[in-house]
Chain A
Amino acid sequence: MSEDTNTLTMDKPVEQSLLDTSVQELIGKPLDRIDGPAKVAGRATYAAEYGFDNLAYGFLVRAPFGFGDVDGLDTEAALALPDVIDVVSDVETFLRNSQQGGETKAPTQGVSRVDYFGQPLALVVAESYEAARDAAAAVRVRHSAGVGEWDFDGRLDEATTPPPSQIKPKTEQGDVEQGLTDAAFTIDATYATPSQNSAAMELHGSIATWDAEGKLTLYGALQMPASDRLQLADALGLKADQVRIVAKYVGGGFGSKLGIAPESVAAAVASKKLGRPVKVVMTRHQVFEATVRRSNTRQRVRLGADANGRLTTVSHENHVSNLPDEDYFEPVGVSTHFLYPGENRRVTHEQVVMNWTLAGSMRAPGEAVGMFAIEGAMDELAEQIGIDPVELRLRNEPEQDPEKKVPYSSRHLSQCLREGAERFGWSERSATPATRREGEWFVGMGVATATRTNMLQKSSARITLTPSGTALVETDMTDIGTGTYTILAQIAGELLGLPLDKVEVRLGDTDAPPGAGSGGSWGAGSSGTSVYLAAEQLRTQLAKAMDCDAEELTLKDGQAIARNHSRPLSELVGTGMSAVGTVRPGKAEKQSNQASYGAHFCEVRVNATTGEVRVSRWLSTVAAGRILNEKTARSQVIGGVTFGIGAALTEELVHDPRDGRIVNNDLAEYHVPVNADIPPLEVVFLPERDHWANPLHAKGLGELGISGAGAAVAAAIYNACGVRVRDFPITLDKLLPGLPPV
């Protein structure tokens, strides 16, 4: 069987997409997920669900103090319990912190020092889960506790500038102070957001097993197997090809499963030592304490506008937090760089080193919290100028990226705002707060812009056409609920002229070509393009077999048609045809500014007596390039919006000032939205194609919904009751003092 390769580096726009000339009619349709029946029937297998004979259960022992040194573990009592096999601790190898996404090295290792409360220290292994759990509670950790850094507000002056990570920590253009002095209108406001947790429904878990040749297979809850494999290999002193990761179904991630977490290495070390498969599933408390949080933020926003409401100055100065020696900083100002015009610009990030759980990526790192402040300030500016907040944004539509001075690859924000305002009935909004009352409820409307940077990651996929005329798509890309299985099948089927039931997609296994992984909203564009490229190569092979040019070839319903001939694919592929497609980011991302856009419109009701907030109506208008599957795309948006509503109203990790511990480390106390919190959410996609992004002409979508959503809620609350809250979450205690007298 021949296997060809097809590689594309995105150095320039791809003007023609095969998706516009193919005829299978799969792309864009609101098709049901192909992995749906397995999921709803309980037959989709997640990490902790693989069965093994002789499986042992591990349970992590966590640090019962917030900072200091471990002097030793007293394990006699634990080892004396029935069915306990061992207490495994390799203090040099065990992970102190989880790893960030996309890293190729091990995260911080070594657990003799404790940097945060709940840090995993050892693994109790037993014949049953119950035995391991109870024995872990019987392990006594001898320690010398010190005083850590647990007072964020008190340490703002000691913040330091972190090294560049996802973005530069500081940029400056023009003269911000002069710009503010000269401005006709100015806003100077400080916003704050608390630490948050992704709270994916599936707990982080791993099953580790070694073969006779010393190769590790890890069944893991992981978003990016290709780089997770490198992290795990590095942590264990293995070569990459000595590690295989399997992650066929992942029960949500939202950033928390981008990199490996402590349970993975603990399972691998214990399995190696005991010579049998070991399963370690973190408890919900451990997931809260020892995986990753979104950093809290403190954001000072200053805007200056001329007499016409046109921005001249945009300044966004941020404080965030992370553990000692961790470079990652929440890129709060990532969209501030390009969203609005203004010749005077400053975006800064200062890191406050804290002994709190690792800060890392959570859905839309940067935008999710940064747009609360920027969009909040825009709402305040509109009020000060005395114009509609939609109009203010329309007046501030830049012609190009105001910092890089490059064109937007595609940007239909104005259309999103206009279309959304029309559909939502925005003209019914009263500009004066607290003037619409229905019974005991104040009713108000808010608007905010949504934008999320579009990214491309290196990604590969193989398609094999079998002698029976079906297609098999293989990549170690994951589907964390995003719809990857389905859209990859749609792309392959569309380009190869096969109905969906003739396309099989196998994901989440590092034995397959390395994919982009799920994160940063890059999955569809990156992984989808790799499948596109493999299919493009197969079309060339099929054309050769048909003795025609690829351009002459029409593929539909399993038939190849050219020059008035029609032959089934099964006849053309011989013993089988295979191709690997690989896409790499290139100059296109420097020569253009790529982002998805949208507008959120929110209606809330605020109880005049209790301050209770209910979101009652919602509309998001979205322009994100080609929509590959309208059903899964809409789900991505409403999922993101709901995250934003949660951030606005309920979500807050509380750190104990005495030892840094996360006080509300479970789903009863960390409040994510439930069904009754969410009204029907309307999503409208505007037609758009982005030639700079990829040959699919599609942009990222998974994080657009959360970006700006919380700001729309906050604006609607202000419009409803006249209380401006700049501190998430907007809980009753922050509203009650400002409510109009009953």
Chain B
Amino acid sequence: MHFQINGQHHEADPDIRTTLLDLLREHLGLTGSKKGCDHGQCGACTVLVNGRRINSCLALAVMHQDDEITTIEGLGTPDELHPLQAAFVRHDGYQCGYCTPGQICSAKGMMDEVEKGWPSYVTAELDETGELTRDEVSERMSGNICRCAAYPNIVDAIQEVWEARA
């Protein structure tokens, strides 16, 4: 089967039971996406599929042959970090680092949702868009658990990138 991941073409022959997460981790050596629960409960496996954030542990690999998949490895490298990655380092938006790739992919997808005007549970007016308050970030990032609990720092990092965007 063919997969388009981080702008590159990959060939793999996964089992029909293989999740997108296990395809990445076990078949393609892209271990940046993490397995924390395998049940869509923790968000550590979050990747972007056609720009939208999903839990890759809840998706079967065979469902995504024609999709554009972006993982943490596709956002930046240690020497050339994506602005979100750099902000997470600056604000200590992590500790053990295990949930971090999922947090960052989730943050990227989340900011796109806000730009499109999608409301959240804490959005006061459904047609009021664009404001990414602290409460909005916290609410929209609550699908990504961080047991080290870098939450306030994660919010700081995301807000900084949001405010600095062109």
Give chain A's interface residues, CB within 8 Å of chain B: 32-33, 35-46, 48-49, 51, 128-131, 134, 198-203, 249-252, 254, 281, 283-284, 480-483, 631-632, 634-636, 638-639, 641-643, 666-668, 672-681
Determine whether the beta carbon of B38 is less than 8 Å from that of A283.
yes
Contact B98 A281 (CB under 8 A): no
A296 and B125 CA atoms in complex are apart in Å by 44
Q: Does B50 sit within 8 A of A, measured CB to CB? A: no
Jot down 29 A-B pairs with beta carbons below 8 A, ordered by A: A32-B92, A40-B89, A40-B97, A41-B75, A42-B30, A42-B71, A42-B73, A129-B26, A131-B15, A198-B147, A201-B36, A201-B96, A251-B36, A284-B38, A284-B41, A481-B96, A482-B95, A632-B92, A635-B92, A635-B150, A638-B150, A667-B37, A673-B149, A674-B151, A675-B146, A676-B139, A676-B142, A680-B134, A681-B152
* Known A-B contacts A202-B36, A675-B151; A42 and B98 likewise in contact (beta carbons under 8 Å): no
Pick the residue among B96, B151, B155 that contacts A252 (CB under 8 A).
B96
Q: What CA separation (Å) do A284 and B152 show in the bound complex?
A: 26
Closest to B144 in A: A675
| B34–A202 touching, CB < 8 Å | yes
- Is the C-beta of B39 less than 8 angstroms from some C-beta in chain A? yes
Kindly name the residue among A37, A38, A129, A134 whose own CB sees the greatest number of chain B CB atoms within 10 A: A37
B41 touches A675 (CB 8 A): no
Indicate if the CB atoms of B147 and A254 lie closer than 8 Å.
Answer: yes
Could you say which of A40, A252, A643, A676 contacts B95, with CB atoms under 8 Å apart? A252
- Collect the chain A residues with CB atoms within 8 Å of residue B41's CB: 284, 666-668
Contact A42 B31 (CB under 8 A): yes
Interface centre among A42, A636, A643, A674 (most CB of B within 10 A): A42
How far is B98's CA from A202's CA once the two chains are assembled, in angstroms?
6
* Of B36, B88, B95, B154, the contact of A667 (CB 8 Å cutoff): B36
User: Inside 8 A of A676's CB, which chain B residues have their CB?
Assistant: 135, 138-139, 142
B29 at the A interface (CB under 8 A)? yes
Decide yes or no whether B78 CB sits under 8 A from chain A: yes
Q: Is the interface of B mostly helix, strand, loop or mixed?
A: loop
Q: Do B71 and A635 touch across chains, with their CB atoms under 8 A apart? A: no
B150, A43: Cβ atoms under 8 Å?
no
B4 located at the interface, meaning its Cβ lies under 8 Å from any Cβ of chain A in the complex: no
Min distance, Cβ A276 to any Cβ of chain B, angstroms: 15
Cβ contact within 8 Å between B96 and A480: yes
List 9 additional A-B contacts (Cβ < 8 Å) besides A38-B78, A49-B31, A636-B95.
A33-B92, A41-B77, A42-B30, A42-B101, A43-B73, A201-B147, A203-B36, A284-B36, A672-B145
Q: A39, A634, A636, A643 — which one has the most chain B CB atoms within 10 A of its CB?
A: A39
Does the CB pair B149–A201 fall under 8 Å? no
Task: Decide if B108 is an interface residue (CB 8 Å cutoff).
Answer: no
Contact yes or no, A51 B29, CB < 8 A: yes
Closest 10 CB pairs of A and B: A42-B32, A251-B98, A481-B96, A481-B95, A39-B97, A642-B149, A42-B72, A37-B78, A36-B89, A49-B31
Distance in angstroms between the alpha carbons of A33 and B137 in the assembled complex: 24
Closest Cβ neighbor of A205 among chain B residues? B35
**Closest Cβ–Cβ distance, residue B24 to chain A (whole Å):** 10
Distance, CA A36 to CA B155, complexed state (A): 17
Smallest CB separation, A524 vs chain B (Å):
14
Chain B residues with Cβ under 8 A from A634's Cβ? 92
Are A45 and B31 in contact, CB atoms less than 8 angstroms apart?
yes
Q: Check if A639 sits within 8 Å of B97, measured CB to CB.
A: no
- Residues of chain A within 8 A (CB-CB) of B141 are 675
CB distance from B36 to the nearest CB of A (A): 5
Chain B CB within 10 Å — which of A36, A44, A480, A668 has the most? A36
Contact status B42-A667, CB under 8 Å: yes
Q: Is the CB of B31 within 8 A of A200?
A: no
| CB-defined contacts of A49 to chain B, threshold 8 Å | 25, 31
B32: A residues at CB distance < 8 A: 41-43
CA distance A40 to B137 in the complex (A): 19
B98 touching A252, Cβ below 8 Å: yes
Q: Write out, one digit per residue, whether chain B residues 107-149 have a CB within 8 A of any chain A CB (1) or not (0).
A: 0000000000000000000000000001101110111111111
B interface, CB within 8 angstroms of A: 15, 17-18, 22, 25-26, 29-39, 41-42, 44, 71-73, 75-79, 81, 85-86, 88-90, 92, 94-101, 104, 134-135, 137-139, 141-155
- Check B98 against A201 for contact (C-beta < 8 Å): yes
Contacts of A51 in B (CB 8 A): 29
Contact at A128–B89, with CB atoms within 8 Å? no
Please indicate the chain A residues that have their CB under 8 angstroms from the CB of B153 in the complex: 635, 638
**A483, B97: Cα distance in complex, Å:** 11
A632 to B26, CA, bound (A): 32
Provide the residues of chain A in CB contact with B35, threshold 8 Å. Answer: 48, 203, 281
Query: In the assembled complex, which residues on chain A have CB atoms less than 8 Å from the CB atom of B146?
Result: 201, 675
Closest to B39 in A: A666
Indicate the member of A44, A45, A666 with the most B CB atoms within 10 Å.
A44
In the complex, A672 Cα to B154 Cα: how many Å?
17
CB of B151, distance to nearest CB on chain A (Å): 5
Q: Which residues of chain A are within 8 angstroms of B139 by Cβ–Cβ distance?
A: 675-676
Chain A residue at minimum C-beta to C-beta distance from B19: A130
**Complex partner residue of B15 from A128, A202, A643, A681, CB under 8 angstroms:** A128
Cross-chain contact A639 with B149 (CB below 8 angstroms): yes
B89 contacts across to A, CB distance below 8 A? 32-33, 36-37, 40
B150 touches A249 (CB 8 A): no
The answer, among B81, B92, B151, for a CB contact under 8 Å with A37, is: B81
- The smallest C-beta distance from A127 to any residue of chain B, in angstroms, reads 10
Cα-based distance from A280 to B53 in the complex (angstroms): 28
Could you tell me the distance between the alpha carbons of A203 and B99 in the complex, rounded to whole angstroms?
11
Chain B residues with Cβ under 8 A from A643's Cβ? 149
With both chains docked as a complex, state the minimum distance between the C-beta of B102 and any C-beta of chain A, in angstroms: 9
A130 and B18 within 8 A (CB) = yes
Contact between chains at B92 and A251 (CB < 8 Å):
no
User: CA–CA, A254 to B147, complex, Å?
Assistant: 9
Give the distance to chain A from B155, nearest Cβ to Cβ, in Å. 7
Distance between Cα atoms of A394 and B138 in the complex (Å): 37
Q: Is the CB of B33 within 8 A of A252?
A: no
Closest Cβ neighbor of B29 among chain A residues: A51
CB-CB < 8 A to B42: which residues of A? 201, 667
Q: Which residues of A contact B26 (CB under 8 A)?
A: 128-129
Contact A635 B95 (CB under 8 A): yes
- Decide: A668 near B39, CB < 8 A? Known: A251-B34, A639-B95: yes
Output the nearest chain A residue to B122 by Cβ-Cβ distance: A676
A251:B97 contact, CB within 8 angstroms: yes
Q: Quick one: given A202-B96, A638-B152, are A41 and B36 in contact (CB under 8 Å)?
A: no
Return chain A residues, CB-CB under 8 Å to B92: 32-33, 631-632, 634-635
Q: Which residues of A contact B85 (CB under 8 A)?
A: 37, 40-41
Q: B60 CB to closest chain A CB, in angstroms?
A: 11
- Considering the chains assembled together, what is the distance between the CA atoms of A48 and B86 in angstroms? 26
Contacts of A45 in B (CB 8 A): 31
Q: How far is the CA of A444 from the CA of B99 in the complex (A)?
A: 33
Which residues from A are CB-within-8-Å of B73?
Answer: 41-43
Cβ contact within 8 Å between B34 and A201: yes
Chain B residues with Cβ below 8 Å from A130 are 15, 17-18, 22
B42 to chain A, nearest CB (A): 5
Chain B: minimal CB distance from A33 (Å): 7
**B37 pairs with A40, CB closer than 8 A:** no
> For A635, what are the chain B residues with a Cβ–Cβ distance below 8 Å?
92, 95, 148, 150, 153
- Tell me the minimal C-beta distance from A284 to chain B in angstroms: 4
Q: How far is the CA of A500 from the CA of B101 in the complex (A)?
A: 25
Q: Which residues of A contact B29 (CB under 8 A)?
A: 51
What are the residues of chain B within 8 A of A41 when measuring CB–CB?
32, 72-73, 75-78, 81, 85
Cβ distance B22 to chain A, nearest Cβ, rounded Å? 6
Return chain B residues, CB-CB under 8 Å to A641: 149
Contact residues in B for A44 (Cβ distance below 8 Å):
97
Q: How far is the CB of B139 from chain A (nearest CB, A)?
A: 5
